[in-house]
Amino acid sequence: MNKAQRNIVKFSLCLILILPWIIVSRASSGHDPQNVPQNKITALYLYNFLLFVDWPEKVFSNSKIMRVVICGDPPLNEAMKPMSGKKIKGKALSIVYKARPDEIRDASHVVFVGNGDLEGVRELLGKLSGKPVLTISDNAAFIDLGGMVLFNVPDVLPENNEERKRFAINLQAVRKSGLEIRSRLLRISHIIDNPRPTEKSRKCY
């Protein structure tokens, strides 16, 4: 990684850290935080998050494309469209939308499952288990179902942390896939090393 790339990574980590405070600042200044488009916030988090994930070299040996699938979240898909063609670690992003999990095939590098599309997620995660595909969602049950990364709202995360974490990461699922998440991102995430199905995740299906 050259100096320019290191600077981009540092900036992206700073952005991940300060974005929630920007939103809070807007709210305290009289701006309604509900007017901040959640889909754009999530898209920004997703784009920057990818800078801290490493895939096995063989995954991109014959490809210069990073295929990102947005499943069941049309607003996020719209917010991600302007990022299509932008490069992550030399790979051009290809943003693809799928309405249902059963439409997703293995030829993906990232899959984001929308909060409103739960049907079939368990089967999708079972199909992708052990494969170098980063799975992300903003649904609280996602980690318990075997997903890798949860973009979470604050009240879902544990209350006993001194510092509120923005992400939850299923480290067991990440390791099984052969992916690696940079330590700098792990330090600002809630790590779940052995998730177990909860009553909430069981009720989703």
Looking at residue 202, its pLDDT comes to: 43
- The CA distances from residue 72 to 11, 93, 160, 162, in Å, are 30, 19, 33, 34
Q: Which amino acid is at 51?
A: L
Q: Is residue 49 part of a domain?
A: yes
Strand, helix or coil for residue 179: coil
Looking at residue 190, its pLDDT comes to: 87
Q: What is the pTM of this model?
A: 0.78
Domain that holds residue 116: 38-203
User: What average pLDDT score do residues 113-119 get?
Assistant: 72
Q: Is residue 189 part of a domain?
A: yes
Q: Is residue 112 part of a domain?
A: yes
Looking at residue 87, its pLDDT comes to: 93
d(CA 15, CA 22) in angstroms, rounded, equals 10
Q: Is residue 15 part of a domain?
A: no
Number of domains observed in the structure of the chain: 1
- The CA distances from residue 88 to 30, 66, 175, 194, 204, in Å, are 36, 8, 21, 30, 34
Q: Is the dihedral of CA 8, 77, 103, 168 positive or negative?
A: positive
Structure tokens at 116: 């409103």
Q: How does pLDDT run across 123-182, given as a tens digit for each residue?
A: 899 999 999 999 999 888 899 899 999 986 455 445 555 456 778 999 999 999 999 999
Structure tokens at 186: 């792990």
Q: Is residue 31 part of a domain?
A: no
Looking at residue 23, its pLDDT comes to: 46
Looking at residue 29, its pLDDT comes to: 47
Q: How does pLDDT run across 64-85, given as a tens digit for each residue?
A: 999 999 999 999 999 999 999 9
Spatial CB neighbours of 108, under 8 Å, sequence gap ≥ 6: 67, 68, 69, 96, 133
Looking at residue 125, its pLDDT comes to: 93
Could you tell me how far CA 65 lies from the centroid of its own chain?
A: 18
Q: Is residue 125 part of a domain?
A: yes
CATH code of residue 92: 3.40.50
Q: Is residue 16 part of a domain?
A: no
What is the rounded average pLDDT for all residues in the chain?
A: 79
- The CA distances from residue 199 to 120, 125, 144, 202, in Å, are 18, 18, 10, 5
Looking at residue 1, its pLDDT comes to: 55
Looking at residue 163, its pLDDT comes to: 58
Q: Is residue 24 part of a domain?
A: no
